[in-house]
């Protein structure tokens, strides 16, 4: 299937509803298999979009939102770093270069904003990790992620 023209635009709160639907569908699919109530997805995306330093882009096909990348700029020592918090492309449009296109827009904007580094958390040895590697990312040398479940 050819995707046709894709438009990438800054993400705004007007996109919250459509983005929440895409998010729920995307993360319900393999390999994530996550069950997100729509209200939780909307709250998560809304929190990210309202935070200080927020930057996001969404992609559209024939006016419909089909993917997005969201995160925030954060001061780090004497630099600005970007925490890429959520990224997804609707399952039926994956592997057609839309993710790469959104990262190109994001990186271009971040460079112009003086940002020096992007970081993100993703699943090890996953399709997503492969995607980020193809786009110039590498596993952090020193940093790791720690978690603790609470009773």
Ligand X SMILES: CC(C)(COP(=O)(O)OP(=O)(O)OC[C@H]1O[C@@H](n2cnc3c(N)ncnc32)[C@H](O)[C@@H]1OP(=O)(O)O)[C@@H](O)C(=O)NCCC(=O)NCCS
Long-range contacts: 134-138, Cβ < 8 Å, 24+? 134/100, 135/99, 135/100, 135/103
The first and second tokens of residue 83, run together, are 């925490």
Least distance (Å) from ligand X to the CB of residue 1?
13
Least distance (Å) from ligand X to the CB of residue 110?
17
Q: Tell me which of 44, 96, 105, 107 binds ligand X, using CB under 6 A.
A: 96
Give the contact letters, 107-136, x = binds to ligand X (CB under 6 A), - = no.
---------------x----xx-xx--x--
Nearby residues of 32 by Cβ (< 8 Å), 6 or more positions away: 26, 123
Nearby residues of 8 by Cβ (< 8 Å), 6 or more positions away: 57, 58, 59, 60, 101, 102, 105
Residues 100, 121, 42, 10: is their CA dihedral positive or negative? negative
CA distance 69 to 87: 4
26 binds ligand X, rule: CB under 6 A: yes
40 binds ligand X, rule: CB under 6 A: no
How far out from the chain centre does Cα 88 lie? 6
Compare residues 47 and 134 and give the one whose CB is closer to ligand X: 134
Least distance (Å) from ligand X to the CB of residue 116?
21
Q: How many residues bind ligand X (CB under 6 A)?
A: 17
43 binds ligand X, rule: CB under 6 A: no
Question: Which residue ranges make up the site for ligand X (CB under 6 A)?
Answer: 26, 87-89, 94-100, 122, 127-128, 130-131, 134
């Amino acid at each position: 299937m050819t995707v046709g023209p894709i438009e990438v635009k800054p993400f705004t709160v007007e996109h919250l509803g459509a983005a929440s639907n895409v998010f729920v569908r995307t993360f319900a699919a393999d390999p994530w298999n996550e069950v997100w109530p729509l209200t939780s997805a909307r709250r998560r995306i809304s929190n990210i979009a309202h935070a200080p330093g927020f930057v996001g882009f969404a992609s559209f096909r024939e006016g419909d939102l089909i993917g997005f990348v969201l995160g925030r700029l954060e001061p780090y020592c004497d630099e600005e770093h970007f925490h890429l918090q959520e990224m997804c492309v609707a399952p039926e449009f994956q592997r057609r270069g839309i993710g790469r296109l959104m990262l190109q827009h994001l990186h271009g904007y971040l460079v112009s904003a003086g940002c020096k580094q992007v970081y993100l958390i993703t699943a090890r040895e996953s399709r997503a990790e492969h995607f980020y590697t193809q786009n110039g990312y590498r596993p952090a040398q020193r940093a790791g992620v720690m978690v603790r479940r609470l009773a």
